[in-house]
Amino acid sequence: MSKEVNYGQQFRQLNRMAAIEADLGSKKRDEAAAEPARTPLPQALPEYDTATLFAGGREIVIRHAGAAYRMKITKQGKLILNK
């Protein structure tokens, strides 16, 4: 009978230890997942409204480094940029 009590006590102790290890492991994973602080974006970025850029149309041309890019507004209202 005393062996059963010992096994029960050992089982409960192992469960407590496993719970403690799991808690410590999750804290370590949380700390590892935390990203370093990022440099904030400048406060005064230029902002353009698509209604102004597209002037009622659905496609514009943007020139960059000598190349022409086409930006389109899809039927779903998303923007697509193609070279």
Mean pLDDT of 1-22: 67
Which residues sit opposite 61 in a β-bridge? Answer: 70
- Is pLDDT at 2 greater than 50 in this prediction? no
Q: Which of 1-10, 44-53, 68-77 has the lowest mean pLDDT?
A: 1-10
> Within the chain, where are the H helices?
2-33, 50-54
> Does 23 score more than 50 pLDDT?
yes
Return all residues near 72 (Cβ < 8 A) that are at least 6 apart. 58, 59, 79, 80, 82
3 state SS of 38: coil
Say what the pTM is.
Answer: 0.47
According to the model, what pLDDT value does residue 61 have?
96
Percent of residues, the chain, with pLDDT higher than 70: 70
Spatial separation of the C-alpha atoms in residues 49 and 60, rounded to whole Å: 13
